[in-house]
Amino acid sequence: MIISKPCTTMKGVIVQPYSWEKEVTVDLKKTAECLRNNGYEVRSVIPKMLAIAVIDGYETSIYPSGKIIVKELTDIEMGKEIAKKIIECAGLSELLDG
């Protein structure tokens, strides 16, 4: 399942994939490579810390915990759609079913 809510510290949407069965972890290098291969701009990758990509015109921060912050976005549903692209690239598609 994915949980989405407005960010309280800045204009944006926070999306967090969650699993009852296993800890969610994202390989940032692998995910960034997949995003590049899908035509998205990846601005930086700091392994085990943070990746920054531009998806559908929005700067997006991706963390190893799976937390995704879509900056400057207020539409929660659009935030979920952007996050789904990242979650699929992270190899965590099974979390989208819940």
CB-CB contact of 3 with 65 (8 Å): no
Find out whether 3 and 78 touch, Cβ atoms under 8 Å. no
Are 61 and 68 spatial neighbours (Cβ–Cβ below 8 Å)? yes
pLDDT at 19: 84
pLDDT tens digits for the chain (98 residues)? 888 898 888 899 999 988 888 889 999 999 999 999 999 999 999 989 999 999 999 999 999 999 999 999 999 999 999 999 999 999 988 877 65
pLDDT reported for residue 20: 86
